Amino acid sequence: FRRVLFRSQGSREQIERYLIPALRGEGGDAYAVTEAEAGSDPGGIATTAVATDGGWSINGEKWFVTSGDVARVLIVMANVVDGPELLPTLFLIEPTTPGVDFVDSPRFTHNYPHGHPTIRFTNVEVGPEAVIGGVGNGEALQRAWFTEERLGIATHGLGAMWRLLEETTEWALSRRQGGQRIMDYQGVSFPLADSATDAALGRLLAIQVARMVDDGGDLKLVHAKASMAKLFVSEAAWRCADRAVQIFGGRGYMRSNVAERFLRELRVDRIWEGTSEIQRLIIARALERRGVEATIH
């Protein structure tokens, strides 16, 4: 999404300053939207941007800024204060800008290499060139970002299920208890069959969403379909990991086991980039506004 955002909405200066170096591997970006009181409801964002003689003054605090500890630039959602109106807008802010403070680096269940710091913006001064996509276009750009990220979560969840199925099936075929392979017990083989079915269905759904994007499909339907893919795969992948832990038995609870690691690392996929409950709301609204046939075909 960030690459698409810069290509489609970024100025030549923004592209040369941030996109091209990122493509060379010289530092990426981090998306800063979540706040203490604005998680599932981004409409609750309290970060503000007030016009100044030289551009904008930004104040607020962002939570769970994934890769914010290594980013070269932060993409910050803030409300531009225009009289009584609040206009959601995306700003590009470099972490070294005066007034940008990293106030916390919480530890999480998973072991991702990059952190998710809390970042505070206090009277951060940026020029007009920091706006990306135009003042007031933040919500539309964010919707596109969520669509991309949700499809991404579905695809990495499918990759996790693939590996879990391969390693757990291999174990079930080689491990013997009671004089026979544990694969021959339905208590082992049936959960694997359920996981394989989940993986196949999730793959078809993710491919359909990707095809709709490539074909330039209705953006509202693509948004709903991406929510379906994210919802289904994130929940199915964690079920798959849970089943795998059970099949590996005590070995499945060891830190060296793939099932134990994925059980920890896949859990967050049901929370970030919109919780499972938010995905269900989006899908339900699609049924209401787009109709059953369009939503499920």
Active-site position among 26, 85, 273, 288? 273
Taking each helix axis from N to C terminus, what angle separates 2-9 and 138-174, rounded to the nearest 10 degrees? 160
Active site residue 167: no
N- to C-terminal Cα distance for the chain?
Answer: 25
User: Angle 186-214/219-248 helices, nearest 10 degrees?
Assistant: 160
Task: Tell me whether residue 263 is exposed, middle or buried, using C-beta atoms within 10 angstroms of its C-beta: 0 to 12, 13 to 18, 19 or more.
Answer: buried
* Tokens linked to 292: 């059953």
Active centre residues (catalytic): 273
